[in-house]
A and B are shown apart, each in its own frame.
Chain A
């Protein structure tokens, strides 16, 4: 097996005295798109934030051989990008401002193009629909990395609130990113999307109850245990 690009072992996170993540292990290789799935409150967002080095955690974490918790925010930002579930801005920037704010206007303009947002570049964020705002923030996240090679994308529900066309564009962008030598970890409720990923981690109450290729991780038994019997029928 090749060296993993991202690896965490026995990772645990406590927030306000409550254990949210409890001994999760995960490895992702360069070129992989990995989905983290689980019901509401399973700890997907917390795990993603911990992997990004945004909150304190215990256990082992390695991104490209280094512990993101020991690195500066600037050093981390060079090799990984984090996209929040409900990104929002306190001020009503123009869509085009976002590229200048992260210091990468050209890369951002390219990403706007690949998400079919170029025509909205001169609008204010408040003039966009919720899905369009989300997509603009995703473009900002993608563009903040110099190049996909050797970089990590951590995205929280990237396709939520997007229309079908843009969901497909985002999925294609993630796949291109991975094929160019990047690694992608996505927290998602969308099991259809998760089945297209290279690996799936099933999270319930902060613990990993399934990990592997989608067909092995998302078995009817795991789905029933995680989401209940009615979900099994849906899936």
Chain B
């Protein structure tokens, strides 16, 4: 299937999914009077779509940069870093944070960038084990840090705990989400321009440089933009693993490994997967919805093990 046809098919599927997502909720199944229910659900659906786009494309970009199909910002500690950034801000200056809502994405970006930098320095070299072990350490550290701050700050405790469970979509309102949504879209669009460089990077640093790629520049840009995507998505959903792993994997199966196809396809699949997970979590248990992160983990974890088993080091 060509990239264009796959993209069109994906868009059609996504539109159907959006319609379904708008019709599912705690008030029951349907659009409500004059679409009133759908209107209430729209910010949540928009947030899931934008975060999913960023997660999908961010996962594909991180896999490209590390030349590793097991890389996923959710597993390599970048989301953990973003949430930890938010936790530090809420722990240190909660009132300022809520007075200036733009500080939340900034804090998330700082945290994501710090973990990304550590990941690049400590986890590089092409070995899955090294990358994932570094990510494991970063994830454990940031998760512990977030929980420590949460347990010490009475007001933000519930908020941060929900964030750690990827359960923020439920409180999405347009006032809270417009900025992270725009950041998700910006990071996604900018990452889409890196397709050719990521293809060249697949042949190793020497070969890529030999073919005229500014390897350090591409890596820096991709890491920065992936951190931005992860930070913005975290502001919308909290911590979600496996979307960044699942989406590029499925995208490669559909459109082949060229990044010109993988990046947009992975973005669309990421949006579809996150929205489907959120809708499923709400639809199956309307009174006590399951978080999107929990649903994606149920599907993603077995897939992760399957990919890891099939990968020969």
Contacts and interface: CB of A to CB of B under 8 A. Distances in A.
Interface of A: 49, 52, 54, 72-74, 76-78, 80-84, 87-94, 97, 100-103, 137, 141, 144
A90 B68 contact: yes
B206 A74 contact: no
B207 A84 contact: yes
Contacts of A82: 206-207, 210
24 contacts: A49-B206, A73-B209, A73-B215, A77-B212, A80-B210, A82-B206, A82-B207, A82-B210, A84-B207, A87-B207, A88-B203, A88-B204, A89-B203, A90-B68, A90-B203, A91-B252, A91-B257, A93-B199, A97-B257, A97-B258, A101-B200, A101-B258, A102-B211, A144-B210
Nearest to B252: A91
A52 B256 contact: no
Interface of B: 67-68, 196, 199-204, 206-207, 209-215, 252, 256-258
A87 B215 contact: no
A59 B199 CA distance: 34
- Most A Cβ at <10 Å: residue of B196, B201, B207, B215: B207
Given A87-B204, A90-B202, A77 B211 contact: yes
Consensus secondary structure, chain B interface? loop
Nearest to A86: B204
A54 B258 CA distance: 25
Nearest to B258: A97
Contacts of B258: 93, 97, 100-101
- Most A Cβ at <10 Å: residue of B68, B212, B213, B214: B212
Q: Which 3 A-B pairs give the minimum distances between C-beta atoms? A: A77-B212, A90-B67, A91-B257
A103 B67 CA distance: 21
Contacts of B202: 89-91, 93
B214 A73 contact: yes
A94 B256 CA distance: 8
B68 A54 contact: no
B204 A84 contact: yes
A54 B214 contact: no
Given A90-B202, A101-B200, A74 B210 contact: no
B30 to A, nearest CB: 44
B196 A78 contact: no
B200 A76 contact: no
Contacts of B252: 91
- Most A Cβ at <10 Å: residue of B213, B215, B258: B258
Contacts of B209: 54, 73
Given A90-B67, A91-B257, A101-B199, A144 B211 contact: yes
A94 B202 CA distance: 13
Contacts of B213: 73
A84 B205 CA distance: 11
B212 A78 contact: yes
Nearest to B214: A73
Contacts of A73: 209, 212-215
Given A97-B258, A101-B258, A74 B212 contact: yes
A93 B211 contact: no
A87 B207 CA distance: 8
Contacts of A72: 214
B64 to A, nearest CB: 8
Contacts of A78: 212
Given A88-B204, A144-B210, 9 more contacts: A52-B206, A54-B209, A78-B212, A80-B210, A84-B206, A84-B210, A90-B201, A93-B257, A102-B200
Contacts of A101: 196, 199-200, 258
B126 to A, nearest CB: 8
- Most B Cβ at <10 Å: residue of A72, A80, A101, A141: A101
A83 B211 CA distance: 10
A166 B210 CA distance: 24
A105 to B, nearest CB: 13
A200 B196 CA distance: 37
A145 to B, nearest CB: 10
A134 B101 CA distance: 54
- Most A Cβ at <10 Å: residue of B201, B203, B210, B214: B210
A54 to B, nearest CB: 5
A146 to B, nearest CB: 12
